[in-house]
C-alpha cells in the first residue's frame, strides 16, 4: 500500500528538529492539531472561556464522533477523560466487586492497573489471578479458557504493553469473555491509533486509551469506551452534576450515556485538538497506518539484530511499532542521554511499569524505540548507526 510520507512529514513540524522514536511516550502532533488547539486558546482569551466553548460547540462535540468512528463504537459510548489512567480507573472502579470475585489479567499488565487490582484484593476480598503466557510470550488463550468459572467477574488486560512489541490476542480473549458473560476491560493505551480496532470484534465492554501516543493528540487527553449494554451494571466511583442530574433535593439520576464517567470542567482546546488528531488518523485510514508502522518496526528490528551486544526483546506473534532492546554491559540511561544529545529520542522502560513480565524475563530495563508512520527508513538507519557508534 502506498503511504503518502511526504504529506505526513509536511504536516509534522517536529520532524525538522528531532528523530522521534518515543511515539509510545508521546508522539509528535500534526500542525493541524497544534493550530486547532492554539486557535481555541486564543479564542478563549479573546471572548471568554464559556463563550468560546459555545462558539466552538461543533468542533468540541466532534471528538465523540471521531473517537467512536475510530473504534467502531457509538458517540454516546465515549467519555473524554484527561488520560488513559483515569479513563481506566473510572471503568475499573465502577465494577461492583464482591468478596470472592476473581479478576483475570495478563503477565504484561501495566503497573497503574495492577496496583488497583491489589487495592481491591486488599479492601474487597477480590482474587487477582494472572493468566500465563503461551510459547510466544502472549496471553495463553487456552490457559484463560481453563481458568474461567462462575466467580470470574472481570477479564482485564493490556492490549499492547508499555514495554514491548507484543500485541495480546485481544479478540480471542473477547470471545471467551462474551461466551461467559463476563465483563471485559481492555487497556488499549498503546494500540488505539496504531492498529485497526473494532469494539464489536474485540467483544469488549470497556476500553481505555490516551490521546498523546499513537493518536497524536495533545497531552492531557484520553477517552473511555463503555458498551451501552453494560452501562447500568456500572456505577461510576466519582460523580458530579455533569455525570448525574440533581433532580430533587434528595435525589440524583445518572446520565444514561458514557458521559457519566466524565466530569464537568475540561480542557476544551485539548478536546478540539484530540478531535483533529482522530480525524487525521481516520483520513489516513488505520489499515494504512498499521501497515506502515509494521514495515518500519520490522526494518528497525532487523537492523538492531545486526548490532553487536544488542538483543531485541519483543515477544508475541504479532509485533507492533514498539521496538525494545537491551545492550550487554551498557548503562541504558546513558545511551538514551547520548542519543538525545544527537537529537534522537528514545525512552527507557523499567521493571516497575510491568513488574510481572520484566521479572519473569530477568530484565531491569529495556530501551524502547517506538516508531510511527511519519518516521522513515533513513531515520532508522541513522539511529542504528549512531547507536552502534555510541556503544
Q: Contact residues for ligand PLP (CB under 6 A)?
A: 83-85, 110, 112, 158, 161-162, 187, 189-190, 210, 222
Residue 317: C-alpha distances to residues 83, 188, 195, 304, 378 (Å): 29, 18, 15, 19, 27
The radius of gyration computed from the CA coordinates of the chain, to the nearest angstrom, equals 21
Longest CA pairwise span in the chain (Å): 71
Residue 289 CB, shortest distance to ligand PLP, in Å, is 19
User: Which residue's CB is nearer to ligand PLP, number 110 or number 117?
Assistant: 110
Q: How far is the CB of 189 from ligand PLP (least distance, A)?
A: 4
Q: What is the DSSP string of 327-373?
A: ETT--HHHHHHHHHHTTEE-EEEEGGGGHHHHHHTT-SEEEEEE--T
Cβ atoms of 173 and 139 within 8 Å: the answer is: yes
Q: Which CB sits closer to ligand PLP, 190 or 345?
A: 190
* CA atoms of 104 and 214, how far apart (whole Å): 27
The minimum distance between CB 299 and ligand PLP, in angstroms, equals 23
For ligand PLP, give the closer residue by CB, 140 or 158: 158
Compute the least distance from the CB of residue 64 to ligand PLP, in Å: 19
Residue 198 or residue 219: which is nearer to ligand PLP going by CB? 219
Rounded to whole angstroms, the Cα distance separating 122 from 243 reads 28
In whole angstroms, give the CA distance from residue 320 to residue 98: 37
Nearer to ligand PLP, 23 or 294 (CB): 23
Q: What grid cell was written down for 215? A: 493518536
Closer residue to ligand PLP in complex, CB, 85/156? 85
**CA 214 – CA 289 distance, rounded (Å):** 10
At closest approach, how far in Å is the CB of 350 from ligand PLP? 12
d(CA 333, CA 348): 7
83 vs 263, beta carbon nearer ligand PLP: 83
Can you tell me the distance from the alpha carbon of 278 to that of 362, in angstroms, rounded to the nearest whole number? 38
Output 29 or 161, the one with its CB closest to ligand PLP: 161
CB of 212 to ligand PLP, least distance (A): 7
- Mapping DSSP to helix (H, G, I), strand (E, B) and coil, where does residue 274 land? helix
Retrieve residue 149's grid coordinates: 468459572
Q: How far is the CB of 313 from ligand PLP (least distance, A)?
A: 16
Write down the least CB distance from residue 119 to ligand PLP, Å.
Answer: 16
Amino acid at each position: 500500500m502506498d503511504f503518502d510520507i511526504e504529506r505526513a512529514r509536511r504536516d509534522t513540524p517536529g520532524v525538522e528538529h528531532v528523530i522521534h522514536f518515543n511515539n509510545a511516550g508521546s508522539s509528535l502532533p500534526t500542525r493541524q492539531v497544534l493550530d486547532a488547539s492554539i486557535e481555541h486558546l486564543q479564542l478563549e482569551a479573546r471572548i471568554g472561556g464559556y463563550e468560546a466553548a459555545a462558539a466552538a460547540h461543533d468542533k468540541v462535540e466532534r471528538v465523540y464522533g471521531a473517537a467512536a468512528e475510530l473504534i467502531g463504537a457509538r458517540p454516546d459510548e465515549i467519555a473524554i477523560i484527561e488520560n488513559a489512567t483515569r479513563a481506566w480507573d473510572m471503568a475499573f472502579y465502577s465494577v461492583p466487586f464482591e468478596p470472592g470475585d476473581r479478576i483475570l489479567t495478563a503477565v504484561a499488565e501495566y503497573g497503574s492497573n495492577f496496583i488497583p487490582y491489589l487495592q481491591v484484593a486488599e479492601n474487597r476480598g477480590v482474587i487477582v489471578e494472572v493468566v500465563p503466557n503461551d510459547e510466544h510470550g502472549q496471553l495463553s488463550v487456552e490457559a484463560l479458557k481453563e481458568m474461567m468459572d462462575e466467580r470470574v467477574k472481570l477479564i482485564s488486560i493490556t492490549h499492547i504493553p508499555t514495554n514491548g512489541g507484543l500485541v495480546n490476542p485481544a479478540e480471542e480473549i473477547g470471545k471467551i469473555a462474551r461466551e461467559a458473560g463476563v465483563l471485559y476491560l481492555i487497556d488499549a493505551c498503546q494500540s488505539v491509533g496504531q492498529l485497526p480496532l473494532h469494539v464489536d470484534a474485540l467483544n469488549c465492554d470497556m476500553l481505555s486509551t490516551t490521546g498523546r501516543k499513537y493518536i497524536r493528540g495533545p497531552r492531557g487527553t484520553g477517552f473511555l469506551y463503555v458498551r451501552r449494554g453494560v452501562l447500568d451494571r456500572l456505577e461510576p466511583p466519582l460523580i458530579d452534576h455533569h455525570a448525574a442530574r440533581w433532580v430533587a433535593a434528595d435525589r440524583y439520576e445518572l446520565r444514561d450515556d458514557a458521559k457519566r464517567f466524565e466530569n464537568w470542567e475540561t480542557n476544551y482546546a485539548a478536546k478540539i485538538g484530540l478531535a483533529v488528531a482522530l480525524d487525521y488518523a481516520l483520513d489516513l485510514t488505520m489499515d494504512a497506518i498499521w501497515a506502515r508502522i509494521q514495515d518500519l518496526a520490522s526494518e528497525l528490528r532487523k537492523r538492531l539484530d545486526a548490532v553487536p551486544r544488542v538483543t531485541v526483546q519483543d515477544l508475541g506473534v504479532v509485533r507492533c511499532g514498539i521496538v525494545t532492546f537491551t545492550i550487554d554491559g551498557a548503562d541504558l540511561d546513558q545511551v538514551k542521554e547520548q542519543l538525545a544529545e544527537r537529537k534522537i529520542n528514545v525512552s527507557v522502560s523499567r521493571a516497575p511499569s510491568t513488574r510481572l513480565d520484566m521479572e519473569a524475563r530477568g530484565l531491569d530495563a529495556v530501551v524502547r524505540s517506538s516508531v510511527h508512520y511519519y518516521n522513515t527508513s533513513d531515520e532508522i538507519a541513522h539511529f542504528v548507526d549512531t547507536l552502534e557508534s555510541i556503544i
